[in-house]
Chains A and B, each alone.
Chain A
Amino acid sequence: MSHLSRRQFLAGATATAAAVTIAAPRVHAQKKGGTIRFIPHADLKVLDPIATTAYITRNHAYMIYDTLFGTDANLAIKPQMVEKFGSSSKGMKWSFTLRDGLKFHDGQAVAAEDAVESLKRWSKRDPLGRLLAAHTAKLAAVDKRTFTLDLAEPFGLVLDALGKPSSNVPFIMPARIAATSENEPIKETIGSGPFRFVKDEWQPGNQVVYVKNPDYRPRGEKPSGSTGGKVVSVDRVVWRYIPDHATANAALAAGEVDWWENPPLDFVPKIEADAALATFITDPRGTQGWIRPNHRHPPFNNKKARQALLYIVDQAKYLKAAIGVEKYYRTCPALFTCGGPYESAAGAPGKPDLARAKALVKESGYDGRPVVVLDPSDIALTHGAALVTRELLTQIGFNVDLQAMDWSSVVARRAKKEPPAQGGWNMLFTWWIASDVINPAVHAGISGAGDGAWFGWPESGRIEELKIQWARATDRAKQKQLAEEIQKVAYDEVMYVPFGQWVLPTAHRKAVRGVLQFPAPLFWNVSIA
């Protein structure tokens, strides 16, 4: 079977990134002013980045809020709102001092108290935040610009948590807003970020408008990811939500919009052939696809039945069905993604082996009951994966009940813990961007917390134990070794089966310059000719 090798994939992604880097000077020679018209991947409906993990809300929050730390293009954590920071007593006591002159959009100065309250609210919702809070003895403001964090137990991920790039990101809001219960959505959208949200012009389902924040004081460094100088060159950014892909494509080609966040891959060849347009990989680490069995109910409450799944999945076949365009996907056995710091093939099955899978199904004592597979038929990539899986499951002896439904129904159905015959399920398909599965602390799929784990509810004391050890390790080599161990156990327990990794290009008119690499679209450093 012909498929893109890992080396080719990385070479391609690097070449694409390099080409754009060369073509688009970073911070100089930018035209000032103008409006960027942008088609986001989804409609912005929820404004609170702590209340939801939705990527569209995260992207909105990157416009209007700032963060204490950011993640650069090489995944290094660097200070953003923080001017200086340090730790003592073997990393048990931390001190952070904010940059001078930071202001919220209502004109109030950003104070240490705002950071403390924001972190407290975030740490009640976000898994990594909860982990940090569980290891924290005291988090408090010392003066107007300084706050301290005293750990109760060693925790090797303090900066990783504060600079977390994806949902939920610890964005900093005024203390009075951050004091809102984590279970209630915030009522005001006041940040200290490089753009201001124009609430009067917000039309859910149609448009979101941002204007440049004239009071924003960017750092002096070159921008990289969410770190460095957030220099805004445009006056206004308008997000126009255009759900129909053909219309979005026509609007981009006609110059009615400047930038389309996520064109489907079948539109990309046409975009690439247009001399006025360019494509760019904003997140070279991409996205990982999952087949998630439900560990609560037969047949996948049996380890052997789950292990059978490992031997049916030929990632190349899945990716061909789900993604289609070879240069954008790659096979990858690493649960913490290929291209990430914990990339490893430890514990991964070898080649697909249907005979072995069949034998495992038999050994599991499968009794022929229907296996309910949720098929989100309105999402092409998971629908493709579901169809391939049905064929393979049937071949190894499962009696498959493929249930087609829209994504909203899947989201509601996957939360049901009842047996499949009473409205529950046995298997679902989903995908996560690399930033959300890049290490054991943020990876929703690798949790053995049973009822407290992500849908599918695997139970594994060993995984939980290893994750705590990993979080407490302060040595990178030790963390890598533990991450490998976690991956081995996760494969053995079959927490989920990855069906590959892919990248999605963004498309913009060539007049748009300075687009940065990051999992979210960033609008600083971007100018329009």
Chain B
Amino acid sequence: MLREILRRLVATIPVMGVVAIAVFALLHVTPGDPAVIIAGDYATAEDIARIRTKLGLDQPFVTQVGIWLGRIVRGDLGASIYSGLPVTTLIKQRAEATISLTLLAMLISILVGVPIGVLAAWRRGSWLDRGVMVFAVSGFSMPTFWLGFLLVYVFAISAHWLPVQGFQSIERGLWPFLRHLILPAVTLSVVYMALIARMTRASMLGVLDEDYIRTAFAKGLAPRRVLVRHALKNASLPVVTIIGIGFALLIGGAVVTESVFALPGLGRLTVDAIVRRDYPVIQGVILLVSAVYVLLNLVVDLLYVVLDPRIKY
């Protein structure tokens, strides 16, 4: 097991290398030149050329990639072309909001999605099942920004229960932290809630027809015990997979939610950097997100072993 973990961790290095080069290449073929943006309105061609030299943009592509990879190996993601702040500082400033938002959204998605999926499967064909399916389809179809504004209108502007925007660090207290996160997390979670509910239902339907479930009911076990201890545990592999993928999708989905709720997160940092062609910041954030994605996949694979003893690495 430990050997497998180490093997997988080592395997992430070439994956990250490929991601790094792909990101670098894509950015450099995208129209837009940070040197021109920095140079401003009155810049001469010489001014622009000087800035390009200073930023190293006049170097051949391979040299630029080499320099950048060399820095990454030393743990240096570079500095923003505009603010001059290190990319690691910018990421640290923004990480708490995105991590908090993503975790809370996933927690809500699981706490709601799994139980309603189980119930829908148990009561297949009932009004409850149909209700869950209607919710799932609506959840998939609802644009995040629209739902966000709707929640803001109802809970922040009309009822004044929660703030419209902003983020408070957990260091300033649990309630201020949660108050600012509830609406964005609910907004972000709805799609994944629907996804998890559907997947749980489908997976449970397959398991509920198994002989051992019938046997468990025949032994007189309480339905809750049968559903949770016997059925859900065996149906959980696809659900865990979808939760793992969901985390990655949540990081992407956070971009819109962070914009709607003005959360200072990594999503907004990335979008701002893309708009201004702030290459070091874009590269740094994408590299980080890719690393998180690779590690999440590893965690999911390891969870398979815990949930299903038949799986061995």
* A interface residues with partner B (beta carbon < 8 Å): 43, 45-47, 51-54, 125-127, 183, 185, 187, 203-207, 240-244, 246-248, 250-251, 253-254, 256, 405-409, 411-413, 415, 417, 444, 451-452, 454
Binding-face segment, B42-50, B129-137, B235-243, B295-303: B42-50
Residues of B within 8 A of A250 (CB): 152-153, 156-157, 164-165
> What residue of chain A has the Cβ atom nearest to residue B275's Cβ?
A408
- Is B276 among interface residues, defined by CB-CB distance under 8 A? yes
- Is B103 among interface residues, defined by CB-CB distance under 8 A? no
Residues of A within 8 A of B153 (CB): 250
- Is B163 among interface residues, defined by CB-CB distance under 8 A? yes
Residues of A within 8 A of B33 (CB): 412, 415
> What residue of chain B has the Cβ atom nearest to residue A454's Cβ?
B41
Task: Contact check, A256 vs B50: say whether CB atoms are below 8 A apart.
Answer: no
Residues of B within 8 A of A412 (CB): 31-33, 36-37, 277
> What residue of chain A has the Cβ atom nearest to residue B264's Cβ?
A206
Residues of B within 8 A of A411 (CB): 32, 36-37
Q: Shortest CB–CB separation between residue A296 and chain B, in angstroms?
A: 13
Q: Which of A125, A187, A254 counts the most B-chain CB atoms under 10 A from its CB?
A: A254
Task: Contact check, A52 vs B44: say whether CB atoms are below 8 A apart.
Answer: no
Q: 20 A–B contact pairs at CB < 8 A?
A: A46-B38, A51-B38, A51-B40, A203-B93, A204-B85, A205-B264, A205-B268, A206-B264, A240-B262, A241-B262, A248-B262, A250-B156, A251-B164, A251-B262, A254-B160, A256-B163, A412-B33, A413-B31, A415-B39, A451-B44
Would A444 and B41 be within 8 Å (CB), given that A207-B264, A253-B157, A405-B31 are in contact?
Answer: yes
Q: Shortest CB–CB separation between residue B147 and chain A, in angstroms?
A: 13
> How far is B268's CA from A424's CA once the two chains are assembled, in angstroms?
31
- Is B84 among interface residues, defined by CB-CB distance under 8 A? yes
- Per-residue contact bits, chain B 80-116, to A (CB 8 Å; 1 contact, 0 not): 1011110000100110000000000000000000000
> How far is B278's CA from A45's CA once the two chains are assembled, in angstroms?
11
Would A256 and B93 be within 8 Å (CB), given that A45-B83, A45-B276, A454-B42 are in contact?
Answer: no
Residues of B within 8 A of A204 (CB): 80, 82-83, 85, 90, 272
Contact of A247 among B48, B164, B269 (CB under 8 A): B164
Residues of B within 8 A of A244 (CB): 259-260, 262
Task: Contact check, A52 vs B38: say whether CB atoms are below 8 A apart.
Answer: yes
Add 20 more A-B contacts to A204-B80, A206-B93 (CB < 8 A).
A43-B272, A47-B83, A53-B40, A203-B93, A203-B94, A206-B264, A207-B264, A243-B268, A244-B259, A250-B157, A254-B156, A256-B163, A406-B275, A408-B277, A409-B31, A413-B31, A415-B39, A415-B48, A452-B44, A454-B42
- Is B149 among interface residues, defined by CB-CB distance under 8 A? yes
- Is B68 among interface residues, defined by CB-CB distance under 8 A? no
Q: Shortest CB–CB separation between residue B2 and chain A, in angstroms?
A: 40
> What residue of chain A has the Cβ atom nearest to residue B277's Cβ?
A408
A-B pairs, top 9 by smallest CB distance, nearest first, are: A206-B264, A45-B82, A412-B33, A242-B262, A250-B164, A204-B83, A412-B32, A415-B36, A412-B36
* B interface residues with partner A (beta carbon < 8 Å): 31-33, 36-45, 47-48, 50-51, 80, 82-85, 90, 93-94, 149, 152-153, 156-157, 160, 163-166, 259-262, 264, 268-269, 272, 275-277
Q: Which of B156, B164, B264, B272 counts the most A-chain CB atoms under 10 A from its CB?
A: B164
Residues of B within 8 A of A451 (CB): 44-45
> How far is B231's CA from A393's CA once the two chains are assembled, in angstroms?
69
Contact of A53 among B41, B93, B165 (CB under 8 A): B41
Q: Which of B36, B51, B163, B277 counts the most A-chain CB atoms under 10 A from its CB?
A: B36
> How far is B38's CA from A52's CA once the two chains are assembled, in angstroms?
7
> How far is B300's CA from A412's CA once the two chains are assembled, in angstroms?
44
Contact of B83 among A46, A406, A408, A444 (CB under 8 A): A46
Q: Shortest CB–CB separation between residue A515 and chain B, in angstroms?
A: 23
Residues of B within 8 A of A251 (CB): 164-166, 262
Task: Contact check, B164 vs A256: say whether CB atoms are below 8 A apart.
Answer: yes
Residues of B within 8 A of A207 (CB): 264
> What residue of chain A has the Cβ atom nearest to residue B46's Cβ?
A183
> How far is B94's CA from A185's CA once the two chains are assembled, in angstroms?
24
Task: Contact check, B157 vs A409: say whether CB atoms are below 8 A apart.
Answer: no
> What residue of chain B has the Cβ atom nearest to residue A183's Cβ?
B50
Residues of B within 8 A of A454 (CB): 41-42
> How far is B277's CA from A45's CA once the two chains are assembled, in angstroms?
13
Residues of A within 8 A of B166 (CB): 240, 251, 256
> What residue of chain B has the Cβ atom nearest to residue A444's Cβ?
B41
Residues of B within 8 A of A205 (CB): 94, 264, 268-269, 272
Q: Shortest CB–CB separation between residue A256 and chain B, in angstroms?
A: 6
Q: Shortest CB–CB separation between residue B101 and chain A, in angstroms?
A: 14
> What residue of chain B has the Cβ atom nearest to residue A187's Cβ?
B84
Task: Contact check, B31 vs A125: say whether CB atoms are below 8 A apart.
Answer: no
> How far is B48's CA from A491's CA once the two chains are assembled, in angstroms?
30
> How far is B148's CA from A246's CA once the two chains are assembled, in angstroms?
11
Residues of B within 8 A of A240 (CB): 166, 262
Residues of A within 8 A of B85 (CB): 204
Task: Contact check, A408 vs B32: say whether CB atoms are below 8 A apart.
Answer: yes
Q: Shortest CB–CB separation between residue B213 and chain A, in angstroms?
A: 49
Q: Shortest CB–CB separation between residue A170 and chain B, in angstroms?
A: 15
> How far is B84's CA from A452's CA once the two chains are assembled, in angstroms?
29
Would A247 and B261 be within 8 Å (CB), given that A45-B82, A53-B41 are in contact?
Answer: yes
Residues of B within 8 A of A46 (CB): 38, 82-83
> What residue of chain B has the Cβ atom nearest to residue A207's Cβ?
B264
> How far is B275's CA from A415's CA once the two chains are assembled, in angstroms?
17
Q: Shortest CB–CB separation between residue B96 and chain A, in angstroms?
A: 11
Residues of B within 8 A of A241 (CB): 262
> What residue of chain A has the Cβ atom nearest to residue B50's Cβ?
A183
Q: Shortest CB–CB separation between residue A523 and chain B, in angstroms?
A: 21
Residues of B within 8 A of A415 (CB): 33, 36, 39, 43, 48
Residues of A within 8 A of B264 (CB): 203, 205-207
Task: Contact check, A53 vs B42: say whether CB atoms are below 8 A apart.
Answer: yes
> What residue of chain B has the Cβ atom nearest to residue A39's Cβ?
B262
